[in-house]
Structure 1
Amino acid sequence: MKNHKAENRIHWNRNRFSLKEEINQKEKKMRPRYQSLLKGGLFLLALAVVCVFAFQATAQDDASTWYKIYYTKAQKIQALRIIKELGSRAPEYFPDEPYPYIVARISNEEAWAYYEQGFQVEEHSDYDPRHAASIIRSDRAVPGYTCYRTAAETIADMKKLAADHPGLVTLKDIGDSYLKTTGQGGEDIWKLELSKSNGIFKRGRLLVTGGVHAREYVGPELALRFAEYLVDNYGTNPDVTWILNYSIVEIIPLVNPDGRKMADGTTMQTDWRKNNHKHDNNNCGTVGSNHYGADLNRNFKYKWGESGVDWDVCAETYPGKSAVSEPETKAVRNVMLTYRDYNTSPTSPASTDARGLFIDLHSHGRLVLWPWGYGDALAPNNTQLQTLGRKLAFFNNHTPEKASGLYPASGTTDDDLYAEKGIPAYTFEMGTAFFQGCSAFESTIAPQNLKALVYAAKACFQPYKYPKGPDALNVALSGTNLTATINDTRYNNSNGSEPTQNITAAEYYIDQFPDPEWPLAKPYAMSATDGSFNSKTENVRATINTSGLAKGKHMIYVRGKDAGNNWGPVSAVFLTVN
């Protein structure tokens, strides 16, 4: 491979004294809305993908400076690639500003390479990635970020949740971290298993993981909050209640506890990404893109080592010595392998009757990603994966796209499970920063992504089918009068449009969950409030006959069907018979 870094150094040196004149020439050609930025001392930069890969392993050094890299709507994909390839050197971005920008620590060489292609950059020398948001410090939380629990607090709260709700939550030790396997301390890797102990055979299964990458604070916190939300709302929220009655929700909030302890803010190693495996007593550093360990999201089996990795043992994307070499990977993969196999091979479509769904929580980029990530090839179930991806992205307002849309990466969690079992698998790249400010997390990221996870729990019974169908919304009872809205349009169409159809039917069930394997569940038809089913959103109604029902609380399930003969997932409401 050419030494692009050396070439760019020569180019920079040759042109550095004419930079101001070139800026003046380019300023005349720029649109008016950017001229004020240029007058403020900006110069033009851009991404050539090959250059970004060349700089991937560059360490933070004294020659690096913090910059704002501004981008236009047309440059959004390139901007996201900058974020991903610079890793810890691009800790935050601001997509909602009038002039969206990335905050990145880059050298003069990189600045010049970007400059020649067209991004705008402004020096941001007073930027502090650990205190970007005005967050009050707390003794109980990551220093500077009161909304995120440390590794120790996360584990303690998992144990308390299970102890306080023995009929609803089971805590399982699924393996050990690297340090624990070598007698250097370390932690158990814990899985929360949420399901009501009611003797009902469970038809749905959802697996959620967080904390694969140590410095990504949002994932573990959201995973644990999802567990707490389900527990807190069981018995009072009808949808949460039927989800836990009929499915198993498995949550591994902290896949990489050793790494997270490094990134918790109690040390100076907050950029830590990998696990804490010191390979061959190497002499790696302990910060940024130069630290020891293996990238767990490059260590899974499928297509291990083929793309998006760096074989420098100190690099952020070092995939380990072999596939599934790390104990953390083995622990998660052992859970994955307990899922039913719906796949004949990774090159053939999995059965559309597949049950189960997987979501791996990461940050950042505001993306919903699905296989394949290792390269440009489409997954055999790409159409169904795309539909569900657009549905999930409707709830969290992220951009839905195939995982390799940013850059190829092999040996990832989602590619591996889909290849092995044929189950739909996704990565959420949440938020806009590794060290996401608590204001944005509490007001937007957490509530939106919790909604996406709840939908995932509803869809996991038929994840290749339900997302094609309409949602049942606003299910309500007034006495015995049942009403709802059936809506077939709820997709995120920011990256292509999902086909939608008119509503053709709606129905409800009393105390019997509608499932293809339970044919005895009896449906009752609902009618369109306006008299006919002829639009993509319909208000529907019915009157429930309660004669013969026992006194007490009952569950009413509602669902709708569109013109493509697609039934959506159910939504529910409680009915009390006095």
Structure 2
Amino acid sequence: MNYLRPFQLVLTMLGLIMAVLLWVPSISAAPENNADYFVVRLYYESMAEVQQIADGGYDIWANERSARYLVVAVNGPQYQQLTAAGWPMTIDAERTAALEMIPDTSGRQSTFFGGYRTVDDLYSDLATLNAAHPTLTELVDYGDSYCKLQAGCTTLGGEQQAGYDLYAIRVTNEAISGTSTIADGVITQGSKPVFFLMANIHSREITTPELAMNMLDWLLDGYGQNADATWLVDWHELWIIPTANPDGHWLVELGTKPPYNSIPFYHRKNANRVGCDQWPPQSSYHYGVDLNRNHSFGWGGSGTSADPCSAIYRGAAAASEPEVVALQNLITAVIPDQRGPDLSDAAPDDTSGLFITLHSYGDLVLWPWGNTTTAAPNKAGLQAIGDHLASFNGYTSCQPSYCLYSASGTSDDWAYGVLGVPAFTFEVGNQFMPPFSQVAGVQWPQNGPALQYAARIARAPYTEVFGPDVVSLAVTSTSPMVTVTAVVDDIQSGNLPISATVFAVDTPYWAGGTEMTATAVDGVFDEPQETVAITLPTAVYGPGRQTVFIRAQDTTGYWGPTHAIFVDLTEDTTQHAYIPVVHNP
């Protein structure tokens, strides 16, 4: 920027006055936890100005697009730099105060900041779940963290950090063919569609491991109880990483322990100390490499920094960090490469697999490309999936350069760019560290259905997203025959008339199950939303629990994702005459 607009001068003077009033500690004084930095609202007129801030290495928390300001964490020198450059700013008093807010721990025995799990808690819970479900789960050590490879790290405060194994958990019914094999640390790819969910690559985003664990619990607790959870575990592979940055998470936890005894450190990066001596961590200025700027695809471009203390430090080279190398190796081992080598190559329509990385915050569903304004070759499919996911959680679906800022070397750009799978970033909620109760009370109810939908379309995401979804299923009659009623809906997928709805009993179509035609309750398929009915005579299917798999097609020919329901048929001794079921040609 080379000039100051008149309204900028006014806002800048107000910002300086507020800064003098609110920013009491000396910038050269030894900080006491987070006391020497604060949060500002930085006003902008265009996305080009947003990118100037991102490329400057500043710690952007959110982009409030409707009000046209960025939420940025700064220390004193950074505030002075921005002021000298003419950026209009005001102090965000509420967010600044939250930097020192101690949570209420009365609702749950506190393990960490009011109930959040530590890395040790997460790993203990993973081990417990793995032991409880020996035929459904496999706990996979896929590498070592930076500190473990260094035989331990020492913080600038003198604390010893041993480092961690990196853990993922695979969820699938191992008895069903197509499962990947794991032997002597080597993963051999299977043929089941893969849903890959990772969290906490930015360590201060402490709600995200909890959401990943919620998804894991939904799958395992629902197995045998919830028909969708059951068929997903049977027929898909679901890989979940609750924390991709355990060293960083440990540093976040450290802020709550002696001698600091305050709130968690706002540490975003891993524990690589090379080139930065800032201690304790400030949100906008601390050591480590930003693992979500270190991936090998598109590394070193916009939205990154060469300053080792910057919140968005990209590292010395692409994939320089062991956490990133191990993550890329794992994903490549379980998801096939389905896209050509050129940037303009589109992944084929029948691509299988889907990747989601959980971040906070901003209420966004982001899709590639993140490092440029150029449209991805599969933009239509990526946007359609993003929009559909956002219909569940109420977020904004967008390409980052148009709604947040451009960033390079990210995990979702890498997953799509290298493998061709649709890849998304969820920016969850409106805080990094909200009260723990928000996870179960707000964030999981919003995002659980979106994650479950994403898992359901993983077989053919680029096509199934354009087909109708089954939005409700219920058993509406049990005598003399069981009747299942379903609502199929194309409103979110194209708003076209439903052309057909089919169902299979016990065996889904992809495993050779026979699909039969369901009937429109109003007698004809001609609307974007239809209610359909299915009858299941006990004499044909026999008594016992049956799984009914349902999917629908619209007039473009796209089939939507499968939905399922359990139906318990009881023995019927009454004589009935049944009309034969007409099979689809």
TM-score bracket, shorter-length normalisation: 0.7 to 0.9
Matches of 2:415 and 2:169, distance apart in 1: 19
AA in 2 matched with 1:540: V
| 1:157–1:79 CA distance, 2 compared to 1 (3 A) | farther
- 1:195 is matched with which residue: 163, 168, 172? 172
Contact 2:210 2:439 in 1 (8 A): no
AA in 2 matched with 1:366: D
- 1:166 is matched with which residue: 124, 134, 149? 134
Matches of 1:85 and 1:136, distance apart in 2: 42
Contact 1:221 1:253 in 2 (8 A): yes
What is the TM-score when the length of structure 1 is the normalising length?
0.81
Q: Counterpart of 1:551?
A: 543
Contact 1:92 1:435 in 2 (8 A): no
Deviation of 1:77 after TM superposition, in Å, equals: 7.6
Is 1:279 the equivalent of 2:274?
yes
| 1:78–1:135 CA distance, 2 compared to 1 (3 A) | farther
Q: Counterpart of 1:428?
A: 426
Contact 1:177 1:186 in 2 (8 A): yes
Q: Which moved more, 1:422-431 or 1:124-133?
A: 124-133
Q: Counterpart of 2:305?
A: 310
Contact 1:361 1:428 in 2 (8 A): yes
Matches of 1:556 and 1:429, distance apart in 2: 35
Is 1:250 the equivalent of 2:246?
no
Deviation of 1:440 after TM superposition, in Å, equals: 3.2
Contact 1:501 1:536 in 2 (8 A): yes
Identity, in percent, stands at 31
Q: Which moved more, 1:400-409 or 1:540-549?
A: 540-549
| 1:284–1:42 CA distance, 2 compared to 1 (3 A) | closer
Matches of 1:291 and 1:70, distance apart in 2: 21
Paired residue secondary structure (2:547): strand
Paired residue secondary structure (2:534): strand
Contact 2:59 2:74 in 1 (8 A): yes
Contact 1:475 1:558 in 2 (8 A): no
Q: Counterpart of 1:473?
A: 471
**Residues 254-300 of structure 1: per-residue CA shift (max 9 Å, x gap):** 110000000124355611111001226x4344422222111101111
Paired residue secondary structure (2:461): coil
**Residues 43-77 of structure 1: per-residue CA shift (max 9 Å, x gap):** 9xxxxxxxxxxxxxxxx99886555x498xx9898
Taking only aligned residues, the RMSD between alpha carbons, in angstroms, comes to 3.8
Paired residue secondary structure (1:279): coil
Contact 2:130 2:137 in 1 (8 A): yes
Aligned length: 520
Matches of 1:397 and 1:251, distance apart in 2: 23
Deviation of 1:529 after TM superposition, in Å, equals: 1.1
What is the TM-score when the length of structure 2 is the normalising length?
0.80
AA in 2 matched with 1:186: G
Deviation of 1:80 after TM superposition, in Å, equals: 8.9
Q: Counterpart of 1:529?
A: 521
Deviation of 1:87 after TM superposition, in Å, equals: 9.1
| 1:81–1:235 CA distance, 2 compared to 1 (3 A) | farther
Q: Counterpart of 1:572?
A: 564
Q: Counterpart of 1:448?
A: 446
Give the unaligned 5+ runs of structure 2.
20-32, 153-161, 180-191, 571-585
Q: Counterpart of 2:338?
A: 342
AA in 2 matched with 1:271: Y
Q: Counterpart of 1:486?
A: 488
Q: Which moved more, 1:321-330 or 1:103-112?
A: 103-112
Q: Which moved more, 1:317-326 or 1:179-188?
A: 317-326
Contact 1:200 1:245 in 2 (8 A): no
Deviation of 1:436 after TM superposition, in Å, equals: 2.1
Contact 2:359 2:428 in 1 (8 A): yes
AA in 2 matched with 1:221: E
Give the unaligned 5+ runs of structure 1.
23-40, 44-59, 491-497
Matches of 1:99 and 1:347, distance apart in 2: 33
Q: Counterpart of 1:150?
A: 118
AA in 2 matched with 1:328: E
Contact 1:88 1:271 in 2 (8 A): no
Contact 1:193 1:249 in 2 (8 A): yes
Q: Counterpart of 2:184?
A: none
| 1:129–1:165 CA distance, 2 compared to 1 (3 A) | same
| 1:122–1:444 CA distance, 2 compared to 1 (3 A) | closer
| 1:129–1:61 CA distance, 2 compared to 1 (3 A) | closer
Deviation of 1:391 after TM superposition, in Å, equals: 0.8
